[in-house]
Amino acid sequence: MAIKALIVDDEPLARDRIREMLKEHPDVEVIGEARNGREAIDSVVNHNPDLVFLDVQMPDLDGFDVLQKLNVEHLPAIIFVTAYDQHALRAFDVHAVDYLTKPFDRKRFAEAIDHAKVFMKGAKEPDTARIISMLQEIRTGATYLERFAIKNGEKVFFVRAEDVDAIEAQGNYVRLSLGNSSHLLRDTLNNIESQISPRMFVRIHRRTIVNIDRVKEVQTWARGEYRVVLVTGAHYTLSRGYRQHFEKFIKLGS
């Protein structure tokens, strides 16, 4: 069954951009648009959308005003869209599942859709840990390592950080795993961890970091530990000491 989406923004070009990006998500159906807060309230009441892209700043009623006038027991999943990140904490207060800061790209948009889908499947709370991490990057202007430089004989080639499945400590080196290949880099795991994006990578063991977007499943294992299985089939131990941190990204059952 398609996810019914409502787009709320006072700027026509902004609404068009969201509608255009949604063409890459055929399981999401746009059932309407609203140009202001009052139209948004009417549309939510009359059309009962599953998901609302809600502009924070509109001339009559802003996004938070809209939510305050709706039935809190039957709110759809909300993705706030705005050029101003100072509204972030208020977004968390009303349980937005994500927060898109203009301008956003297709990858970031797809992440927001994925978060909304997880939330609609029964997650008790939105994934605020990742949202907070993103907003901290925006506020501080933090930049993270985008490519690893790998020396091979007399040549140096580059590996994109987003293509790395896992990073493991091996003595004075770290091993970068990518699909069926791997590369050694002379560095420490702690130093690498300080340079890579916390939105993309999460430490699961004192010797292992994984790309959170490559995680396929988590299996129960011995002695209170878990096994993290990636889409490639590779698997790594999630130790008890890192479980609480890992659960900020993926909720584990009891």
The model carries a pTM of 0.51
3.20.20.140, 1.10.10.10, 3.40.50.2300, 3.30.365.10: CATH of 3-140: 3.40.50.2300
CATH 2.40.50.1020 location in the chain: 149-246
Q: Can you give the pLDDT at residue 48?
A: 92
Q: Say whether the peptide bond before residue 26 is cis (omega within 30 degrees of 0).
A: no
pLDDT tens-digit series, residues 35-78 = 999 999 999 999 999 999 998 888 778 787 887 788 766 778 88
Whether 14 shows a pLDDT value over 60: the answer reads: yes
pLDDT, mean of residues 176-192:
91
Q: What percent of the chain has pLDDT over 90?
A: 39
Q: Can you give the pLDDT at residue 198?
A: 81
The span from the CA of 67 to the CA of 210, in Å, is 37
Are 189 and 181 spatial neighbours (Cβ–Cβ below 8 Å)?
no
Whether 126 shows a pLDDT value over 70: the answer reads: no
3-class DSSP assignment, residue 146: coil
pLDDT tens-digit series, residues 67-110 = 778 876 677 888 988 876 555 555 555 567 888 887 888 988 99
CATH 3.40.50.2300 location in the chain: 3-140
Class of domain 149-246: mainly beta
Q: Can you give the pLDDT at residue 9?
A: 92
Place of tokens 């004989």: 153
Q: Using alpha carbons only, what angle is made at residue 14 by residues 13 and 18, rounded to the nearest 5 degrees?
A: 115
Residue 153 vs residue 210, higher pLDDT: 210
Residue 29's beta-bridge partner residues?
A: 4
- 230 closest CA partner among 167, 165, 182, 159: 165
